[in-house]
Chains A and B, each alone.
Chain A
Amino acid sequence: MIRLEKVKKVYDDGFQALKDINLEFKEGEINVLIGPSGCGKTTTMKLLNRLNEPTDGTVYINEKDISQMDPVELRRQTGYVIQHIGLFPHMSIAENVGAVPTLLKWDKDKIDKRVDELLNLVNLDPETYKTRFPSELSGGQQQRIGVIRALAAEPPVILMDEPFSALDPISREQLQDELLRLQKEINKTFVFVTHDIDEALKIADQIILMQGGEVVQKGKPSEVLSNPENDFVVDFIGKHRLEENRNSIPNVDEVMMEKPLTISSSESLTNAYESMKQHGVNSLVVVDRGELKGQVSIFDVIDVGVYENKLVKEVLKPFEQVVEIGTSLKVVLDLMEKNNAANIPVMNNNQFAGMVTRGSVVELLASVYANSQREGA
């Protein structure tokens, strides 16, 4: 995990490129830094491999302050892809891809095997391409090599500085798709800089929108789309995209409450009652170590008697319906209506993930409605 704490950057000419940045790049996700030119997105990214040093503040990677690390070592552990591709023109494709492993002094057989593996990963036949030189490849192929060069030594973090913006639209789309596919396979932490909002919305797990050296908004693409922070964000994303998003039906991940009140099945009814009273709710979800057992409502408790010496597991009612994460809200609404259910739990790989309640649906409606009011103003 990468964390920036109170990072400031002032250039020699007095220009303040970054003003107090506090950020977290999530592990195993594609984190996209986006904003208009001069907003500090590239400056921020280059802090992470110390091509840029902060004037003030600290950057932590896995809780280690990177200003204490040797920059050369740090860069060898961090993949780096640049907009201008930057392949070494006097080296063959195999030598380019194997550049970092060579610096790390892997033995030759291991490098050779790794190069083949990586070329196959981006669907370039090793036998055909290994001995070629960068100038013999198309722009899209060159940037594929640029990407796998960054992956060669299995760095946990990969930095990408507008990697696809110099490519033609078709290659760009292809490479974005490939990146998403790759990410499913290798599950690395990406920090990706772009100025293209479509690209960001397509590939990002987390979007970090910057302006004038500050973070304006961060969150999942869907969160940013459905809840833009201010007029700048609205303008930057573009009204037509927001409109489109509003007309599309969200899925349960965006609607559910992520942390509803839960109770373990071995608790006493008295505790359940106290918890409900304290939080002003009329039911609790019963979960044992992530496993969903059912729910217990205030009526069940009162029926049995609050001060009877009984446990939650004796009165809980299992849910009739559950849905998987990623299900369309439409399906859930259907279920709620048909079964007259007040709430439906959302599961992620048999683990309890959250709850869609009537309240959370209303909240979503409210947020969309609030947005359209702001836009109308």
Chain B
Amino acid sequence: MDVIQKITEIGQYMIENWAHLLSLTFDHILMVLYGMVLAAVVGISLGIVCAKFEKVAPIILSIANIIQIIPSLALLSIIMLYFGLGFTTVVIGLFLYSLLPIIRNTYVGLKEVDGHVSEAGKGIGMTPFQLLYKIQIPLALPFMMAGVRIATVIAVGVASIAPFVGGDGLGREIVSGINSRNETMIYAGAIPAAILAVLADLILGKLEKRQKNKIA
């Protein structure tokens, strides 16, 4: 059969080139990881700023929204103009692309904290900072993690177009496949990328659920 033949062919190719594919996968993960860590640090901070200063919230959220609307290839190209080809450009692109879900979820999560619990915290003598890190952030954590999860899944996808701006990762295999009209190579790049996205969703989803159970 045609399909089975195709699958064996892909399997065979992947086994033969496993070392190369594995290194591409690592590159892929590395780009996403750098982008996410940056986005988490900046995004959560901005989310907290939004929740604490209601007046700036619409400004920050609109800016993040606009960034999100720019098509990924266009965004990466613009960044490339300033940072040149390569790893840095991709990481910055992933970082910017991940900001919105993280900021928004942090903001919503903090807003969702039961006002009576916050009042109790304030009433027993917590400083605003203690209230934030002892009460509000732990209670908003499931929301924040959902934001990180969504951002990660998007980032794994966006990272596949990295080769267009000089990055590495599984996208390189796909682009090579397209250029050489080799279907097998395209599959060999696309399948691990898809698996990565699913795995990220599953693992982060599980962590998120555990946090949620702790609270409810």
| A–B complex contacts, Cβ < 8 Å, 12 sampled | A51-B122, A84-B116, A85-B116, A86-B114, A86-B121, A86-B123, A89-B215, A90-B139, A100-B125, A103-B125, A149-B124, A150-B124
Which residues of the other chain, B, contact A192 by a CB distance below 8 angstroms?
Answer: none
Which residues of the other chain, A, contact B130 by a CB distance below 8 angstroms?
Answer: 103
Do B124 and A89 touch across chains, with their CB atoms under 8 A apart? no
Which of A72, A74, A78, A90 is the most central at the interface, judged by chain B CB atoms within 10 Å of its CB? A90
Q: Does B120 contact A (CB under 8 A)?
A: yes
Do B216 and A49 touch across chains, with their CB atoms under 8 A apart? no
Residues in B69-115 with C-beta less than 8 Å from chain A = 114
Which residues of the other chain, B, contact A80 by a CB distance below 8 angstroms?
Answer: 120, 123-124
Interface string of A85-114 (1 = CB under 8 A from B): 111111000000001100100000000000
Q: Does B117 contact A (CB under 8 A)?
A: yes
Q: Does A245 contact B (CB under 8 A)?
A: no
Q: Does A135 contact B (CB under 8 A)?
A: yes
Do A49 and B117 touch across chains, with their CB atoms under 8 A apart? no
Total A residues in contact with B, Cβ cutoff 8 Å: 26
Do A86 and B119 touch across chains, with their CB atoms under 8 A apart? yes
Which residues of the other chain, B, contact A103 by a CB distance below 8 angstroms?
Answer: 124-126, 130
Q: Does A76 contact B (CB under 8 A)?
A: yes
Q: Does A375 contact B (CB under 8 A)?
A: no
Contact with A88, one of B120, B125, B127 (Cβ below 8 angstroms):
B120
Given A75-B124, A84-B116, A99-B124, 15 further pairs, Cβ under 8 A: A51-B119, A75-B122, A75-B125, A82-B123, A84-B114, A85-B116, A86-B117, A86-B121, A88-B120, A89-B139, A89-B216, A100-B124, A100-B125, A103-B125, A159-B123
The number of residue pairs between A and B whose CB atoms lie closer than 8 Å in the complex comes to: 63
Q: Does B138 contact A (CB under 8 A)?
A: yes
Give bound CA distance, A78 to B130, whole Å: 18
Which residues of the other chain, B, contact A86 by a CB distance below 8 angstroms?
Answer: 114, 116-117, 119-121, 123
Do A90 and B125 touch across chains, with their CB atoms under 8 A apart? no
Which residues of the other chain, A, contact B124 by a CB distance below 8 angstroms?
Answer: 75-76, 80, 99-100, 103, 149-150
Q: Does A73 contact B (CB under 8 A)?
A: yes
Q: Does B55 contact A (CB under 8 A)?
A: no
Give bound CA distance, A78 to B122, whole Å: 12
Give bound CA distance, A104 to B200, whole Å: 42
Distance in angstroms from A96 CB to nearest chain B CB is 10
Give bound CA distance, A88 to B99, whole Å: 29
Nearest 7 CB-CB pairs, A to B? A86-B120, A76-B125, A75-B125, A84-B116, A80-B123, A86-B116, A90-B138
Do B135 and A51 touch across chains, with their CB atoms under 8 A apart? no
Do A90 and B120 touch across chains, with their CB atoms under 8 A apart? no
Which residues of the other chain, A, contact B181 by a CB distance below 8 angstroms?
Answer: none
Give bound CA distance, A80 to B120, whole Å: 8
Interface size class of B (residues with CB under 8 A): 20 to 34
Distance in angstroms from A40 CB to nearest chain B CB is 18
Distance in angstroms from A106 CB to nearest chain B CB is 14
Which residues of the other chain, B, contact A100 by a CB distance below 8 angstroms?
Answer: 124-125
Which residues of the other chain, B, contact A78 by a CB distance below 8 angstroms?
Answer: 125
Give bound CA distance, A88 to B116, whole Å: 10
Which residues of the other chain, B, contact A89 by a CB distance below 8 angstroms?
Answer: 114, 117, 139, 215-216
Give bound CA distance, A99 to B124, whole Å: 8
Distance in angstroms from B51 CB to nearest chain A CB is 18
Give bound CA distance, A85 to B119, whole Å: 10
Give bound CA distance, A89 to B214, whole Å: 9
Interface string of B23-62 (1 = CB under 8 A from A): 0000000000000000000000000000000000000000
Whether A90 contacts B215 in the complex (CB less than 8 A), given A82-B116, A82-B119, A85-B116, comes out as: yes
Do A88 and B121 touch across chains, with their CB atoms under 8 A apart? yes
Do A87 and B120 touch across chains, with their CB atoms under 8 A apart? yes
Give bound CA distance, A73 to B123, whole Å: 11
Which residues of the other chain, A, contact B114 by a CB distance below 8 angstroms?
Answer: 84, 86, 89
Which residues of the other chain, A, contact B116 by a CB distance below 8 angstroms?
Answer: 82, 84-86
Do A72 and B127 touch across chains, with their CB atoms under 8 A apart? yes
Do B127 and A75 touch across chains, with their CB atoms under 8 A apart? no
Distance in angstroms from A102 CB to nearest chain B CB is 9
Do B123 and A135 touch across chains, with their CB atoms under 8 A apart? no
Residues in A45-99 with C-beta less than 8 Å from chain B = 49, 51, 72-78, 80, 82, 84-90, 99
Distance in angstroms from A44 CB to nearest chain B CB is 15
Give bound CA distance, A124 to B122, whole Å: 26
Give bound CA distance, A81 to B184, whole Å: 67
Interface string of A274-311 (1 = CB under 8 A from B): 00000000000000000000000000000000000000
Give bound CA distance, A135 to B215, whole Å: 9
Which residues of the other chain, B, contact A149 by a CB distance below 8 angstroms?
Answer: 124
Give bound CA distance, A85 to B216, whole Å: 16
Whether A49 contacts B123 in the complex (CB less than 8 A), given A90-B215, A135-B216, comes out as: yes
Contact with B214, one of A85, A90, A150 (Cβ below 8 angstroms):
A90
